[in-house]
Amino acid sequence: MTRHTVFALLLFISTTAFCQDRTNARSMVISQYGIVATSQVLASQAGAEILARGGSAVDAAIAANATLGVMEPDMNGMGGDLFAIFWDAKSGKLYGINASGWAPKALTIDYLKKKGATKMPPAGIDSVTVPGAVEGWHKLHERFGLLPWKDLFTPAIFYAENGFAVQELIGSDWQGSAPKLKQDSESRRVFLMNDQAPSMGQIFKNPDLAKALRLIATSGPQAFYSGQIAQAILATEHEFGGAMAADDLKEFSGEWVEPISTTYRGWTVYELPPNGQGMAALEMLNIMEQFQPAKSGPVSTEEVHKRIEAMKLAYADLARYNADPRFAKVPVKGLLSKDYAKQRSQLIDPHKANCNPQAGTPPSSDTTYLTTVDRQGNIVSLIQSNFSSFGSGITVRGMGFVLQNRGALFMLDPAQPDALAPRKRPFHTIIPAFMEHGDDHIGFGIMGGANQPLAHAQFVSDVVDYGMNLQAAMETARFTVRSNFDPGCQILIEDRVPADTRQQLTNLGHQLEVRGDFSMYMGRGQAIDHNTKSGLNFAASDARTDGSAEPEPPPPLRSQR
């Protein structure tokens, strides 16, 4: 055996050993063509097919999102809201869309108090705000779409009409929502089979939703906001004594917004401005930046404690200041200043958990996430949601989709920034994100209510501080909280965090609720990185989902389809 042969053999053995010892369960998907990453394999495939037909990243995102509305009706659908970030590869410019709906004109604090309410209802007709998803699709397609609008809904219509096999994790969530669905006769009829939620592997069909999707495909957003679907929404509202009127739907419009950003150890990280909670992720990163990454790693006591405490401070500010900026002055610039982060970081005690974090004084100044990239390198980071599982619990009569319950996040105290008001948008938990450094441009997001800002910050830190690839960063064990407004010391944490670390965190005063290896409480994320130097795309799909990252078929295969 020659010396060169021995060297090659040793190199093979060492490389193989490294791969066998990795901590992430999945590999990244790497392709010179476009990729679609979603929480359902068939939705990812639907988006990839749109790319293969010459569609843009936006076209693929809309097709995938519409398909997800069929396959994950608990999480999202045309009865919910939407936010997205679009990165234009040619110009390097970012565009943000806020397609979150407003409260009906007649839904006021006095209106609810006269009905005996002392706080916003968590579900039911008075938690319903105007759904913005279809308007978001329209705005995105109008500006960045390439294929005809009607072609984007073909996969979703097919699966709604012909059925699909319910996947493992969504099947479990569906089962848990059965009692809620039984409270509305239409929800019971549409989403239960023999009065039971469909279980994993059962074929589920939704012909009513197929009809609604056809109306959207042929008549555009007008079908939803002033046409046949609007009439069905208003009839449903009337049946339950709701406040929504025709003008609330007809006059709604999505809004193009400028993303907000901060820098984190040389990377620029972007979120969308309020009424979403993206500023909390950026503030958390600013506070974390005041400390060096723990040499003992991302799931060490030192690192996890620092992240938890930074999260509490950022969430205290979020609860105090976040609101619809058209109705309240939100001090975004002050909250994201580095000087303010330095001031807030000094409140972190490395030896003790803070169970009662307070908001600072800054200087003036259940959800589905998906990401797509096309062969030109354009990236869409999109998130869409009903809020709670199956939203308000009320299904639009004859249309096969539930109405969201975003209004539940308003407050009935008129002194609060998020006080309910006519045509005001509520606090929003869903946030798409984007980060870039040099040649790398990453669209990413991790869903899950209060989980999202802290999950974003953990993901960014894992990439930047610990050099993880997208898949490893997405899969690394995480912690989360149940509430944006009062996280206290109650922390949910995956049991892949070492037992000795969990014990040490408990000794510091954290009250840990240990969840499974890959817990859905930690959110379900996707990420895509376009490298402008190599032209390659890298994608990750969270092991906490039923989904995948699916590459666009290359040209020879496209021609055979």
Nearest Cα neighbor of 326 from 278, 283, 273 is 273
Nearest Cα neighbor of 490 from 353, 315, 373 is 353
Question: Do 280 and 330 meet the contact criterion of CB atoms below 8 Å apart?
Answer: no
- Say whether pLDDT at 5 is over 80: no
Rounded to whole angstroms, how far apart are CA atoms 172 and 532?
A: 40
- Say whether pLDDT at 11 is over 50: no
Among left, alpha and beta (phi > 0; psi -120 to 50; other), residue 255 is beta
**What's the mean pLDDT in 79-102?**
98
Whole-number pLDDT of residue 19: 54
240 and 268 both lie in a single domain: no
208 and 331 both lie in a single domain: no
Residue 109 tokens, joined = 């604090």
Q: Output the domain CATH number for residue 455.
A: 3.60.20.40
Rounded to whole angstroms, how far apart are CA atoms 178 and 296?
A: 44
Average pLDDT in the chain = 93
Q: Is residue 494 part of a domain?
A: yes
- Active-site amino acid positions: 367
Write the DSSP symbol of residue 80.
S
Q: How many domains does one find in the chain?
A: 2
198 and 285 both lie in a single domain: no
Question: Do 193 and 202 meet the contact criterion of CB atoms below 8 Å apart?
Answer: yes
pTM: 0.94
H-helix segments, 438-519: 451-464, 470-475, 499-507
Q: What is the pLDDT of residues 231-246, one digit of tens each?
A: 999 999 999 999 999 9
End-to-end CA distance of the chain: 49
Number of other CB atoms surrounding residue 267 within 10 Å: 17
Nearest Cα neighbor of 371 from 380, 363, 362, 359 is 380
Q: Is residue 183 part of a domain?
A: yes
Q: Is residue 3 part of a domain?
A: no
Query: Which of residues 409, 437, 462 is at a domain's end?
Result: 409
Question: Do 206 and 77 meet the contact criterion of CB atoms below 8 Å apart?
Answer: no
186 and 288 both lie in a single domain: no
**Residue 560 backbone dihedrals phi, psi, to 5 degrees:** -85, -10
460 and 533 both lie in a single domain: yes
106 and 141 both lie in a single domain: yes
* Burial of 141 per CB tally in 10 Å (0-12, 13-18, 19+): buried
- Say whether pLDDT at 65 is over 80: yes
Q: Is the dihedral of CA 173, 174, 175, 180 positive or negative?
A: positive
241 and 134 both lie in a single domain: yes
Q: Is residue 96 part of a domain?
A: no
Whole-number pLDDT of residue 362: 87
Question: Do 489 and 411 meet the contact criterion of CB atoms below 8 Å apart?
Answer: no
The residue type of 227 is: G
Rounded to whole angstroms, how far apart are CA atoms 477 and 501?
A: 12
Whole-number pLDDT of residue 559: 55
**What's the mean pLDDT in 427-444?**
96
113 and 192 both lie in a single domain: yes
Whole-number pLDDT of residue 432: 97
Q: Tokens 């908001």 appear where?
A: 359
Write the DSSP symbol of residue 101.
P
H-run or E-run covering 133: helix 133-144
**Residue 196 backbone dihedrals phi, psi, to 5 degrees:** -125, 150
Residue 32 tokens, joined = 């010179």
Lowest-confidence region among 223-227, 345-349, 419-423, 449-453:
449-453
Query: Which of residues 409, 439, 466 is at a domain's end?
Result: 409
Whole-number pLDDT of residue 3: 44
Rounded to whole angstroms, how far apart are CA atoms 65 and 82?
A: 10
Supply the Cα-derived Rg of the chain in whole angstroms: 23
Q: Tokens 């946030």 appear where?
A: 431
546 and 474 both lie in a single domain: yes
Strand partners, 204: 164
Q: Is residue 92 part of a domain?
A: no
Pairing of strands 537-541, 29-31: antiparallel
47 and 191 both lie in a single domain: yes
Q: Is residue 414 part of a domain?
A: no
Residue 390 tokens, joined = 């199956």
Nearest Cα neighbor of 99 from 113, 80, 116, 114 is 80
- Say whether pLDDT at 22 is over 60: yes
Strand partners, 96: 85, 257
Beta strands in 52-136 (DSSP E): 81-87, 94-99
Write the DSSP symbol of residue 121.
-
Question: Would you call 119 helix, strand, or coil by DSSP?
Answer: coil
In terms of residue numbers, what domain contains 176? 31-79+101-249+393-409
Rounded to whole angstroms, how far apart are CA atoms 547 and 553?
A: 18
211 to each of 66, 156, 238, how far by Cα in Å? 13, 11, 22
Rounded to whole angstroms, how far apart are CA atoms 446 and 335?
A: 22
DSSP result, 410-450:
-BS-TTSTTB--TTPPPPB----EEEEETTEEEEEEE-STT
Whole-number pLDDT of residue 14: 42
Q: Is residue 9 part of a domain?
A: no
Count of H helices and E strands in the chain? 21, 19
- Say whether pLDDT at 561 is over 70: no
Nearest Cα neighbor of 325 from 401, 273, 247, 259 is 273
Query: Which of residues 409, 438, 466 is at a domain's end?
Result: 409
Question: Do 433 and 268 meet the contact criterion of CB atoms below 8 Å apart?
Answer: no
Residue 50 tokens, joined = 């749109």
Question: Do 304 and 288 meet the contact criterion of CB atoms below 8 Å apart?
Answer: no
Nearest Cα neighbor of 389 from 407, 405, 408 is 405
DSSP result, 529-541:
EEETTT--EEEEE
308 and 243 both lie in a single domain: no
Rounded to whole angstroms, how far apart are CA atoms 207 and 515?
A: 37
Whole-number pLDDT of residue 18: 47
Number of other CB atoms surrounding residue 512 within 10 Å: 17
**What's the mean pLDDT in 125-147?**
98
Q: Which 3-state string (H, E, C) describes 327-349? A: CCCCCHHHHCCHHHHHHHHCCCC
Q: Which residue has the higher pLDDT, 16 or 516?
A: 516
Q: Is residue 23 part of a domain?
A: no
Q: What is the pLDDT of residues 330-388, one digit of tens each?
A: 999 999 999 999 999 999 999 999 999 999 988 654 678 999 999 999 999 999 999 99
- Say whether pLDDT at 226 is over 80: yes
296 and 400 both lie in a single domain: no
- Say whether pLDDT at 128 is over 80: yes
Residue 44 tokens, joined = 């990812």
Whole-number pLDDT of residue 8: 43
